[in-house]
Structure formats: structure tokens, C-alpha cells
């Protein structure tokens, strides 16, 4: 069991509208403030989606580069860009996310129903994303929305080799309508399936919406790590909207400390994940 806890903050996402969630950080200044606050509390990784001037999701290359540079200048956080974008984004734009030079990027391991939409991740696209990250020294976080995605990851690694940095880290995204449920039993099953992946593989877990707390507790008890943020839930408790990402990170830090697995520093997180120092 890992003695510390890697805490990732996912502050924005591509689903919630600013008009409906006023606390959502959508401008660069709002994102930087969130990043600094969450780093001070114990977050080590920031999972980034960006928005345009109308607060709509975008994969604009200029904005991505500006965001990566600003986060590196203002924080020591590991910058992880989403290659998922919004479900409507074309593959070419999703691959181009890597051109912004993040420390990490997400790599979703299969197609799934995503609420009323379809989140398309063809095998050829997954291979292209994985191999481009290998070539550029960008460390992937493999996003697992269903148990079959772990089998796809086993196939990917067997055919195309270990990721940049040599360490395999996955994130169980649980509770999306169309994906695996956010329950303890499901997390146990997913954790057991990790035995088929390279020795030393680590995992984080993300509980969407009301599954946030059960998933956090289950992940900590199984030796896993945590991803929290307003991308994944905008309700702190029944009838209580989230006031800030800092509120969610503070709760995750509190749970990690209760589990006697305090948050990893950014330097410790880089060592765990095989992420080079910024500005490599």
C-alpha cells in the first residue's frame, strides 16, 4: 500500500455551464487562483479543461499553450491536459492537445455511452495518442470508465510498450451514466483487475456526483489515490452547492490524513508517476 496519497484536482471539465455553476473557474485567472489554492492544500496534479471567451469548452491551441505556461509559472503542480475535451471534439483536435507540451495527458481506454451522448475512443485513436505521448515524453493517465477498459489497456501495453516514464497509472472514473457505477464493490473488482497490468501499477479513483464520497473512502482503503473537483461534482452535500474546488480538495486531504496517508508533495508525485521536472 502506498504510504501517501496523490491528490488530483479537476477544476472545470467540459460539462457544467458557468451560468448554472457560477463558482466554476473558466477564465485563466480563475483557473490560476484555483490551482494555487488547491496546491497549498495538498493537490499535486491539476487535470485541465479550458473554456473560450463565452465559457464554452475549447481545445484552442493558443489557449492551451498559454494555460500550460501560466500554470508552470505560478505553481509547481503537475499539469495534465485532458485529451478527451468535450464529446463532440474531433480526434485531430484531441491529438493536438499534446502540442501544448503538458507534463501529462489523459488517455481514455475505450468508447462508452456518456449520459445521452457517446464518448468515442476508437482503438486506432488510442494507439496514436499512446505512441505520440511515448515519443514526446508526456506521461499518460489512463482513464478507465468501465472494466473492459482495463483489458484494452493490457492489450495496448502488450503491443506498444510502457508509457513515457515507465510507470502505469490509471484513473477509475466511476458513476458516469453509461460507465461503471460508483460503488465499493465495483472499485474492488477494478482493483483486482489491476493484477493483469505491470507490477507497480497505481490507481486513482473519481466518483461522479453523489458517488464522490463512497469512491474516495473505498479508494483510500484499497491503497489508491484521489481525484476531486468541480468537473466531477458541483454538490458538496445534499442541498449544498460546491463553493470552490478548494472545498473539495480540503475534504479529500482530510480523508487522506484520517487514513494516515497524507497528501504527496508535487516532488513525490513526480517520482511516483515518472514525470520529469517542469521545463524538461
Q: b/e per residue, 242-267, with b = 16+ CB within 10 A?
A: bebbbbbbbbbbebbeebebebbebe
Chain-centre distance for alpha carbon 75: 18
**Would you say residue 20 lies in a domain?**
yes
* C-beta of residue 265 within 8 angstroms of C-beta of residue 7: no
Which cell numbers in the block locate residue 192?
483486482
**Would you say residue 124 lies in a domain?**
yes
Phi first, then psi, for residue 32 (nearest 5°) are -65, -40
**Would you say residue 1 lies in a domain?**
no
Virtual torsion, Cα 41, 43, 47, 52, nearest 10 deg: 20
Per-residue pLDDT of the chain (280 residues; tens, 9 = 90+): 458 999 999 999 999 999 999 999 999 999 999 999 999 999 999 999 999 999 999 999 999 999 999 999 999 999 999 999 888 999 999 999 999 999 999 999 999 999 899 999 999 999 999 999 999 999 999 999 999 999 999 999 999 999 999 999 999 999 999 999 999 999 999 999 999 999 999 999 999 999 999 999 999 999 999 999 999 999 999 999 999 999 999 999 999 999 999 999 999 999 999 998 865 4
Which cell numbers in the block locate residue 265?
508533495
**Would you say residue 279 lies in a domain?**
no
**Would you say residue 278 lies in a domain?**
no
pLDDT of residue 136: 97
Nearest-angstrom CA–CA distance, 261 and 258: 7
Nearest-angstrom CA–CA distance, 90 and 71: 26
Place of cell 489554492: 37
pLDDT of residue 9: 98
Answer whether 0.85 is exceeded by the pTM: yes
Per-residue HEC secondary structure of the chain comes to: CCCCECEEECCCCCCCCCCCCCCCCCCHHHHHHHHHHHHHHCCCEEEECEECCCCCEECCHHHHHHHHHHHHHHCCCEEEECCCCCCCCCHHHHHHHHHHCCCEEEEECCCEEECCEEECCCHHHHHHHHHHHHHHCCEEEEEECCCHHHHHHHHHHHHHCCCCCCCCEEEEEECCECECCCCHHHHHHHHHHHHHCCCCCEEEEEECHHHHHHHHHHHHHCCCEEEECCCCCCEEECCEECCCHHHHHHHHHHHHHHCCCCECCHHHHHHHHCCCCCCC
- Residue 87's domain is classified under what CATH number? 3.20.20.70
**Would you say residue 49 lies in a domain?**
yes
Domain that holds residue 261: 7-273
**Would you say residue 205 lies in a domain?**
yes
**Would you say residue 280 lies in a domain?**
no
Q: Who contacts 261 (Cβ-Cβ below 8 Å, separation ≥6)?
A: 1, 2, 3, 4, 5, 220
Amino acid at each position: 500500500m502506498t504510504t501517501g496519497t496523490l491528490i488530483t484536482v479537476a477544476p472545470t471539465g467540459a460539462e457544467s455551464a458557468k451560468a448554472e455553476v457560477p463558482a466554476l473557474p473558466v477564465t485563466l485567472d480563475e483557473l490560476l487562483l484555483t490551482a494555487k489554492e488547491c496546491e497549498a492544500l495538498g493537490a499535486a496534479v491539476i487535470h485541465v479543461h479550458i473554456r473560450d471567451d463565452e465559457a464554452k469548452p475549447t481545445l484552442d491551441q493558443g489557449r492551451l499553450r498559454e494555460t500550460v505556461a501560466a500554470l508552470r509559472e505560478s505553481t509547481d503542480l503537475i499539469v495534465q491536459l485532458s485529451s478527451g475535451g468535450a464529446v463532440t471534439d474531433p480526434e485531430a483536435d484531441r491529438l493536438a492537445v499534446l502540442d501544448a507540451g503538458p507534463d501529462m495527458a489523459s488517455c481514455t481506454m475505450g468508447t462508452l455511452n456518456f449520459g445521452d451522448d457517446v464518448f468515442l475512443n476508437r482503438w486506432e485513436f488510442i494507439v496514436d495518442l499512446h505512441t505520440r505521448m511515448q515519443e514526446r515524453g508526456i506521461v499518460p493517465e489512463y482513464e478507465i470508465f468501465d472494466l473492459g477498459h482495463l483489458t484494452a489497456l493490457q492489450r495496448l501495453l502488450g503491443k506498444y510498450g510502457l508509457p513515457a516514464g515507465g510507470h502505469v497509472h490509471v484513473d477509475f472514473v466511476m458513476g458516469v451514466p453509461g460507465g461503471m457505477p460508483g460503488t465499493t464493490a465495483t472499485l474492488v473488482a477494478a482493483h483486482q483487475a489491476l493484477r493483469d497490468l505491470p507490477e507497480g501499477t497505481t490507481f486513482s479513483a473519481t466518483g461522479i456526483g453523489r458517488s464522490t464520497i463512497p469512491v474516495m473512502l473505498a479508494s483510500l482503503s484499497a491503497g489508491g489515490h484521489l481525484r476531486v473537483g468541480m468537473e466531477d461534482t458541483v454538490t458538496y452535500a445534499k442541498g449544498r452547492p460546491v463553493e470552490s474546488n478548494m472545498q473539495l480538495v480540503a475534504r479529500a486531504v482530510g480523508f487522506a490524513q484520517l487514513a494516515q496517508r497524507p497528501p504527496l508533495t508535487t516532488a513525490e508525485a513526480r517520482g511516483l508517476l515518472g514525470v520529469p521536472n517542469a521545463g524538461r
